Chain A
């Protein structure tokens, strides 16, 4: 039982490049989330998926797209990376929308 896994752990991109951050959970959770964490700021919600087949914008969605591929997997895509997207990205999941959230180990992204 791995919980929430994220790949990659670390990535360096050049401005304008694209990439997809992968997240998977094995707890049969309905809800999944993507957050970003920046120095001096709290974690901020990028996108979430309340259930398979649905996605909604959070606080800071610009520059990102998401896909809820199935109940287990929720990916985050940067179509054209910008230095402002340098951050640590956390995926999380919960059984339902208002339950305890379980976090992945994070992906550290550097955009040059």
Chain B
């Protein structure tokens, strides 16, 4: 079973700061997802990546397959970025569904 670890568990920062959230996993994967869970509970997929780097607006996700590590960066953070960010992986082989990290609770203060 793949183990997915996220750090930090909690992060409070000031508006405008550059944010980095880390994710590491224990077993080879076919893809990694970054998800955002809003305070109201809804879950939205931000990125799915299997190599390299993806960018969407102020969000950047990178993955290093050899090191089994991914990072999510937020540039020019804003209070509306406050949410729980969740890393999840598709393991290789026939297994379906995702294995999730416990999430990083991010608060951006004005």
Contacts and interface: CB of A to CB of B under 8 A. Distances in A.
Interface of A: 31, 33, 35, 40-45, 48, 50, 56, 58-59, 88, 90, 92, 97-103, 105-106
Given A45-B97, A48-B96, A98-B90, A40 B102 contact: yes
A43 B30 CA distance: 19
Interface string B89-110: 0100000111111110000000
Nearest to A42: B100
Contacts of A43: 86, 88, 98, 100
Contacts of A35: 97
Given A40-B102, A42-B103, A98-B31, A31 B45 contact: no
Q: Is the interface of B mostly helix, strand, loop or mixed?
A: strand
A37 to B, nearest CB: 9
29 contacts: A33-B97, A40-B102, A41-B102, A42-B4, A42-B86, A42-B88, A42-B99, A42-B100, A42-B101, A42-B103, A43-B98, A43-B100, A44-B100, A45-B97, A45-B98, A48-B96, A58-B96, A58-B97, A59-B97, A88-B41, A90-B43, A92-B43, A98-B30, A98-B90, A99-B48, A100-B45, A101-B98, A103-B42, A106-B42
Interface string B40-68: 01111100100000000000000000000
Contacts of B90: 98
Contacts of B43: 90, 92, 103, 106
B45 A101 contact: yes
A40 to B, nearest CB: 7
A43 B35 CA distance: 11
A33 to B, nearest CB: 5
